[in-house]
Amino acid sequence: MSLFCPHMMPLLKQDYPHDTPHHSEADGLARWLQTAEARTQAKLRMPVIMATQRIGLASRRCGELAAEARHTRHRLLNLPTRADPGVASRLEDRAIALEREAHAERVSLWRDLQPLAESARDAAVDRIRQSWLSELERVIGESSARGGLQ
């Protein structure tokens, strides 16, 4: 009788931290750098994904508003000369309202993107810091392999 169950996930080493072998300080620094790099990648990726989604939504909405405003302006230009002045006024007001709404959407997009840009900037600074630490780790590893700093 087999104890293997195909629907169960195999256990991984990280499931048993007490069983992991102890590593030197250099290995600890390397593991820390890898973890920090993964965190930094996630911090960089999230604002980009969110900004892309927000830009897509705003782009579609602004496109819809612009198309409707063009259509309204076209109707206004093609009104018969004997048309009621109230109709022309309502069409003009509607076109202006649509253009204002599109402008408000662009302003809203700008406000929404500012914190995302700041978050991406902070993550980029972290990445630069991590690359500097990785280079430092590499130099320390090379010097210790040669028998110490010279």
φ, ψ of residue 68 in degrees (nearest 5): -65, -40
Q: Does residue 86 lie in a domain region?
A: yes
d(CA 78, CA 6): 71
Domain region containing 43: 28-143
**95 occurs within a structural domain:** yes
Cβ pair 120, 44 in contact under 8 A: yes
- HSE at residue 74, side-chain half, CA atoms within 13 A, is 6
- Domain membership of residue 21 (yes or no) is no
Highest mean pLDDT among 49-63, 75-89, 93-107, 109-123: 93-107
Amino acid identity at 9: M
What is the tally of structural domains in the chain? 1
DSSP 8-37: SPPP-GGG-GGGSPP--HHHHHHHHHHHHH
Across the chain, mean pLDDT equals: 78
List Cβ neighbours of 123 (8 Å cut-off, separation of 6 or more).
40, 43, 44, 47
In a domain, 148, yes or no: no
Task: Give domain status of residue 3, yes or no.
Answer: no
Q: What per-residue confidence (pLDDT) applies to 147? A: 65
Q: What is the pLDDT of residue 10?
A: 46
What tokens were used for 80?
């018969």
* Residue 97 lies inside a defined structural domain of this protein: yes
Asked, for residue 66, whether it belongs to a domain, the answer is: yes
Other C-beta atoms closer than 10 Å to the C-beta of 40 total 20
- The least confident of 32-41, 68-77, 86-95 is 32-41
Provide the whole-model pTM: 0.56
Which pLDDT value is given to residue 5?
Answer: 43
In a 10 Å sphere around its CB, with 0-12 CB exposed, 13-18 middle and 19+ buried, how is residue 97 labelled? middle
The predicted structure's pLDDT at residue 16: 46
Answer whether residue 81 is part of any domain. yes
Contacts of residue 111, defined as CB under 8 A and 6 or more positions apart, other chains included, come to none
